[in-house]
Structure 1
Amino acid sequence: MILYFSGTGNSEYTAKRIGKEIDDKIFNLFDKIRNRDFSAMHSERPWVVSVPTYAWRIPRIVEKWLENTKLTGNKDIYFVMTCGGSIGNAGKYLEKLCAEKKMNYCGCAGIVMPENYIALFSTPTEESALQIIEQAERIINDTAHVIKSCDKLVQSNISFGDKMNSGIVNGIFYPMFVHAKKFYATDACISCGKCAAVCPLNNVRLENGKPVWGGNCTHCMACICRCPKEAVEYGKHSHGLPRYTCKKQV
């Protein structure tokens, strides 16, 4: 079974592509995470977890869900991480997580997809995004082939910088940058509530028709990138940048 969490669609697309290649069913973790549902799940086939890369590791909200949820049946588990550039040394922490869950860590694949982290980086135009996805197709196919063959995914060439990024930098990044203080809605807001609906942590609510952000944010960028009127901004950085969601269909 393929489990996925996706803020703007990259990891969803990857999950669906791999699901199609290996003929396995996929499951969206959004409701599980949003509702803090840690009820056990079962699969006779190997588990595949498709997630975005947050500060060179899997999102902490997905890590917490995995820590608290019993996965029964098959003990093999693969990880597929979409990223804007690198997944760092994420495999080290995933291997430790699997050992704690008494599951067989079968490796992690990093797949470069269009940048969606509009809080810090520039997002691509739709044309550029489609080109990046096209370039990713071979890696997605290769990853699916390894999983289908029950071989292990190999994450090679781990540099000192990778170790630092997934370790010390990840630990600093979350408390310093991962918060909702800079999100706000402009006068273009139509009070549709989409930002609240797509938040995996119930961190956005409408007050007098306008969104208000709480203190429990994971920086998935769903609220800002999925707003139909581009009415959500993140400080001054997001001004004029295209909002990114994966437009390509499987």
Structure 2
Amino acid sequence: MVGLYFSGTGNSKYCLERFLKEFKDIQIFSIEDHKVIEQIKHHTQIIIAYPVQYSNIPKILRDFIMKNAAIWKNKEIFIIATMGLFSGDGAGILARLLKKQDAQIIGGLHLKMPDSIADEKVLKHSSKKNKALILEAEKKIIQAAHDFQNGHSSQEGIGLFSHLAGLFGQRLYFYTKTKHYSNKLKINEARCIGCGKCAKLCPMKNIDMTNGKAIAKDQCTLCYRCINQCPTQAMTLLGKKVVKQYDINHYL
């Protein structure tokens, strides 16, 4: 068994680590890790964690699956989907994509976690509430891990009802948000201090440093790493200003 994840601000990585903590000597790898393909090839059972975006798969993860389509054949996959709201089929949308690559889906788990969309007021919580959300998620993770070990994998987000809930809940209305990479990342030049942190963090290499300033391109995958970590709050994506930056490490 091996763990695989894509994570913007740490929620999905944390949930995967906590799930696999109930097992022994299980390694986890980001899809950005150069070792990840060999790890997938060498394991039959894979636990995948990722953040749901508009009841859909982040573009970077979808592209990773499709680019490496051949390696999923006959793999047994359990999916952990993290989200700020009920997504319907967060696990199911990835499950259906993987099934097309001849993978076997053995279960899914939905976990409500603190919101990381730093430039929108929607879903913002106090530090106390965020800590409570993480604790509740941890309880659910531990139970799901024990059920998995006993051959009773959670099936959240996998069925037809979940599919319809995800489709009509968000995906049908916001499909274009994740169909392509975004060119909407904005950088306030007056606020930018040229530290380069955003460029180093970006999984898409979507930010260049030019003349001591960060310059955004058109390949943003909406992960919000750069926006949440910018020391001067110089970056926005969906909103016009940063409301509250988020990093899971502040709540652990």
Residue 53 (structure 1) aligns with: 52
**Do the aligned partners of residues 210 and 161 (structure 1) sit closer, same or farther apart at CA in structure 2, a change above 3 Å counting?**
same
Taking structure 1 as the reference length, the TM-score comes to 0.84
Taking structure 2 as the reference length, the TM-score comes to 0.83
**DSSP 3-state at the match of 1:117:** coil
Q: What is the identity, as a one-letter code, of the residue corresponding to 1:181?
A: K
State the distance in 2 between where 1:2 and 1:175 align.
26
Q: Which runs of 5 or more residues in structure 2 are unaligned? A: none
**Do the aligned partners of residues 109 and 30 (structure 1) sit closer, same or farther apart at CA in structure 2, a change above 3 Å counting?**
same
Tell me if structure 2 keeps the 8 A contact 1:31–1:200.
Answer: no
Does residue 168 (structure 1) correspond to residue 167 (structure 2)? The answer is no
Q: What is the identity, as a one-letter code, of the residue corresponding to 2:115?
A: E
Residue 143 (structure 1) aligns with: 144
Tell me if structure 2 keeps the 8 A contact 1:179–1:219.
Answer: yes
State the distance in 1 between where 2:23 and 2:251 align.
17
What does 1:50-199 correspond to in 2, within 5 Å?
50-69=49-68, 70-71=70-71, 75-122=75-122, 123-155=124-156, 158=162, 160-165=164-169, 167-174=171-178, 179-185=182-188, 187-199=190-202
Residue 28 (structure 1) aligns with: 30
Residue 248 (structure 2) aligns with: 246
**Do the aligned partners of residues 68 and 244 (structure 1) sit closer, same or farther apart at CA in structure 2, a change above 3 Å counting?**
same
**Do the aligned partners of residues 56 and 192 (structure 1) sit closer, same or farther apart at CA in structure 2, a change above 3 Å counting?**
same
State the distance in 1 between where 2:187 and 2:37 align.
32
Shift of 1:221: 0.5
State the distance in 1 between where 2:236 and 2:176 align.
24
**Do the aligned partners of residues 166 and 47 (structure 1) sit closer, same or farther apart at CA in structure 2, a change above 3 Å counting?**
farther
Determine what percentage of the aligned residue pairs are the same residue: 24
Shift of 1:5: 0.8
State the distance in 2 between where 1:74 and 1:147 align.
19
State the distance in 2 between where 1:198 and 1:160 align.
35
Residue 211 (structure 1) aligns with: 214
State the distance in 2 between where 1:102 and 1:73 align.
5
Q: Which moved more, 1:178-187 or 1:59-68?
A: 178-187
Tell me if structure 1 keeps the 8 A contact 2:51–2:82.
Answer: yes
**Do the aligned partners of residues 124 and 183 (structure 1) sit closer, same or farther apart at CA in structure 2, a change above 3 Å counting?**
farther
**DSSP 3-state at the match of 1:21:** coil
State the distance in 2 between where 1:163 and 1:235 align.
21
